[in-house]
Chain A
Amino acid sequence: MINNKPWLAWATCDNPQTEKLPGEWDEKINSFDKLILLKAYRPEKLSFAFQNYVLKRMGKFYVEGQTVTMEAVYSDTDYKTPMIFILSTGADPT
């Protein structure tokens, strides 16, 4: 019989996406399997875990928002490639 107590503790803790899994399981399964576990127990934490997964596999570059400068984007435009700004409500760039 499996001891459920450590699992219950893990499944109900504040940050299961960074917490170690009970017993030997943290070593035993790969990081994608951990995402599946998390999806089963705590789906609301998945987006944090996705972020950590990308961070671990591919590096910081792919999770940080890339700040765009006008200079960088301007060089991509020409007479038939316009630049379109979509602003959210309340944004005032002037």
Chain B
Amino acid sequence: MGYKRVAVRGSILYFVIADMARINDMYQNSLEYVKVLFNKAIDITAKSEVLETRLSSLIDIITKTIFTNVSRGLFERDKLIFSFLICTSIDRNSSLITPVAWSIMLRGAIPISDAQMAKMGTNPFPKNILSDIN
């Protein structure tokens, strides 16, 4: 079923929105609200005889509608992080970003040992940087 892709996008968006509450207590949106936006987006999406066209416009309009409405309720300084989280969540879902890469981005890597450090030879960069890129 092709429509599953649309549902997947809806679920990704909902969980990013749910996570936003951890940035600021005021960013608590209900699933009910997201569902209202989701259904509204389905209604306004242009109809098409071709399933593929219909699916891509659904995904596009749903993402835009939910993004616009939720973003409006965020402080200016948190808007970029919201866009970035949506973007990376989509990319993680399609495996463009691996779990390992995501974890290093969030938490950094395990520090490298002195032996590994010696193997790298003389180096102008400090150890914590070398750990993260190793």
Interface residues of A (CB under 8 A from B): 1-2, 4, 7-8, 11, 30, 32-33, 35-37, 39-41, 47, 50-51, 53-54, 57-58, 61-63, 65-66, 68, 73
> Within the complex, what minimum Cβ distance (angstroms) separates A80 from chain B?
14
A-B contact count (CB 8 A): 67
**Which residues of B are found within 8 Å of A37, using beta-carbon distances?**
133
CB distance from A70 to the nearest CB of B (A): 13
B21 at the binding interface (Cβ < 8 Å): no
Size bin of chain B's contact surface: 20 to 34
* CB < 8 Å neighbour of B80 from A33, A51, A58: A51
Query: Shortest distance in angstroms between B19's beta carbon and chain A's nearest beta carbon?
Result: 16
Check A47/B80 contact, CB under 8 A, given A40-B132, A68-B72. yes
CB < 8 Å neighbour of A41 from B81, B91, B97, B129 = B129
Known interface pairs A30-B96, A36-B104, A62-B67; 18 further A-B residue pairs with C-beta atoms within 8 A, sorted by A's residue number: A1-B121, A2-B120, A4-B122, A35-B105, A36-B101, A36-B105, A36-B132, A40-B129, A40-B132, A40-B133, A41-B133, A50-B80, A53-B84, A53-B87, A57-B87, A58-B86, A58-B87, A62-B86
